[in-house]
Amino acid sequence: MEMAEEVVVLVIGAEPAGLVTAACLARRHVPYVMVERESCSASLWRHRTYDRLKLHLAKEFCELPHMAYPMGTPTYVPRKRFVEYLDGYIDRFRIRPRYRTVVESAVYDDGRSRWVVSARDMAIDVEVKFVARFLVIATGENSKANIPLVPGLPGFVGEAILSSVYKSGKCYTRKNILVVGAGNSGMEVAYDLATHGANTSIVVRRPLNGNLNAANVIFGDMSKHGIVRPKMGPLLLKSQTGRSAIIDVGTAKLIRGGFIKVFTGISTINANSVVFHGGKEVPFDAILFATGYKSTNGESMFKDGFPKKGFPNHWKGEDGLYCVGFARRGLTGIAMDAKNVIEVLLK
Ligand SMILES: Cc1cc2nc3c(=O)[nH]c(=O)nc-3n(C[C@H](O)[C@H](O)[C@H](O)COP(=O)(O)OP(=O)(O)OC[C@H]3O[C@@H](n4cnc5c(N)ncnc54)[C@H](O)[C@@H]3O)c2cc1C
Ligand SMILES: *[C@@H]1O[C@H](CO)[C@@H](O)[C@H](O)[C@H]1NC(C)=O
**Domain residue limits, the chain:** 5-143+295-345, 146-289
Whether pTM > 0.85 for this model: the answer is no
- DSSP state, 251? H
**CATH topology assigned to domain 5-143+295-345:** FAD/NAD(P)-binding domain (3.50.50)
Q: How far is CA 6 from CA 3, 28, 67, 114, 236, in A?
A: 9, 19, 30, 9, 18
Cβ of 50 closer than 6 Å to ligand 1, yes or no, is: no
Domains 5-143+295-345 and 146-289 agree in fold: yes
The Å distance, Cα 185 to ligand 1 centre, comes to 29
For a pocket test of ligand 2, which of 174, 282, 284 has the largest count of ligand atoms closer than 8 A to its C-beta? Answer: 282
For a pocket test of ligand 1, which of 11, 15, 315 has the largest count of ligand atoms closer than 8 A to its C-beta? Answer: 15
Cβ of 317 closer than 6 Å to ligand 1, yes or no, is: no
pLDDT in tens, the chain (347 residues): 357 899 999 999 999 999 999 999 999 999 999 999 889 999 888 887 777 788 989 999 999 999 999 999 999 999 999 999 999 999 999 999 999 998 877 878 888 899 888 888 878 777 788 999 999 999 888 665 455 546 677 788 999 887 766 778 889 999 999 998 766 667 778 888 998 999 999 987 654 443 333 333 334 445 555 555 445 444 444 444 444 444 555 777 788 888 889 888 888 889 999 999 889 999 999 999 876 666 555 566 777 678 888 899 999 988 899 999 999 899 999 999 999 999 999 98
Torsion of CA 258, 264, 269, 274, to 10 degrees: -20
Q: How many CA atoms lie within 13 A of 201 on its CB side?
A: 23
Cα angle, residue 308 at apex, residues 42 and 319 outer, rounded to 5°: 80
| Residues 266, 289: Cα–Cα separation, whole Å | 13
Q: Check if CATH label 3.50.50.60 holds for domain 146-289.
A: yes
| Residues 12, 15: Cα–Cα separation, whole Å | 9
Taking residue 310's Cβ as centre, other Cβ atoms within 10 Å add up to: 9
Task: Please identify, by atom number, the ligand 2 atom nearest to the C-alpha of residue 199.
Answer: 1
Phi, psi of 24 (to 5 degrees): -65, -40
